[in-house]
Amino acid sequence: MTHDHPDTPARAASRPFGRVLTAMVTPFTADGELDLDGAARLANHLVDEQGNDALVINGTTGESPTTSDAEKERLIRAVAEAVGDRARIVAGVGTNDTRHTIELATAAEKAGAHGLLVVTPYYNKPPQSGLLRHFTAVADATGLPVMLYDIPHRAGVPIATETMVRLAEHGRIVAVKDAKGDLTATSWVTSRTDLAFYSGEDSLTLPALSVGAVGVVGTSTHFTGALTKQMIEAHDAGDNGAALALHRRLLPLYTGIFRTQGVILVKAGLNAAGLPAGPVRPPMVDATDDEIAQLRADCAAAGLALPE
């Protein structure tokens, strides 16, 4: 039995978006307008300083529920222009309306995205046959590779294993952001398909790798990206002790970033570090002083200092 080196083409092909992706926040100006210069600067930081192989733009952490379609398109263009030559740009386009999702997907492709993140339609709870039809229609609509986003605790509906297996037959459905928290289901799908699984929960990245995942779409990776990449590379190299040590080190921030809604604390941390972020838009609320103090403590526990 041969073992591919992590960087051989065979292994690279199984990682269509690399190892570490961050669901990037959307920087706003002090008065809540889109900050495109800030977005370009933040994207550069995440790629050059935090080692991200790809960035997810217009995800929930990017406050997609409160940005307009026009803002989404402008944001993709700005980030693609800034880092698209050295990182993959994955555009969040999922909604609970198939027609609207297709419109966003088409616009994202024109704006320079390299891939699409498509979340399970939320709140209206379609049956599995509806999910199959929705994801297939979106994948048919552009030439871009698609990452499914399975997050039943937000969407209200899981993508069932059999549905996932059928979707894997589509040539452009290549990956899954897995926030189901069910490693048995993950194991079944990774054993039956070639879908590239990315952990959608920062703290489950290492366990997910052990059952066939290839990386992470993270939130705390705004701050932990470089060390998370080291953890994944250690796991790839068979150095489980080093991977486990990094997992344990980063656990306070992997979990602490979600003490309230993730974007709130990411923006607080970026603002403290002098990086572009700005305020959140309602119904989100900016972090309180106590929450920022706790974030500093969580960062310190992970060996990462936030500037005072």
Q: Which residue has the tokens 């591919």?
A: 4
Bond prior to 207 in cis (omega within 30° of 0): no
Q: Which residue has the tokens 């669901």?
A: 23
Please report which helix (H) or strand (E) contains residue 199, including its range.
Answer: strand 196-199
Q: What is the dihedral of CA 34, 35, 40, 44, to 10 degrees?
A: -110
Selecting among 110, 122, 123, 177, the annotated active-site residue is 177
List CB contacts of 250: < 8 A, sequence separation 6 or more. Answer: 202, 220, 224, 227, 228, 231, 302
Q: Which residue has the tokens 């994948």?
A: 139
Total Cβ atoms within 10 A of residue 233: 18
Question: Phi and psi for 222 in degrees, rounded to 5?
Answer: -55, -30
Residue 270 backbone class (left: φ over 0; alpha: ψ -120 to 50; beta: rest):
alpha
Rounded to whole angstroms, the Cα distance separating 300 from 6 reads 31
**Does 149 participate in catalysis according to the annotation?**
yes
Selecting among 72, 149, 198, 229, the annotated active-site residue is 149
**Does 177 participate in catalysis according to the annotation?**
yes
Q: Annotated active-site positions, please?
A: 149, 177
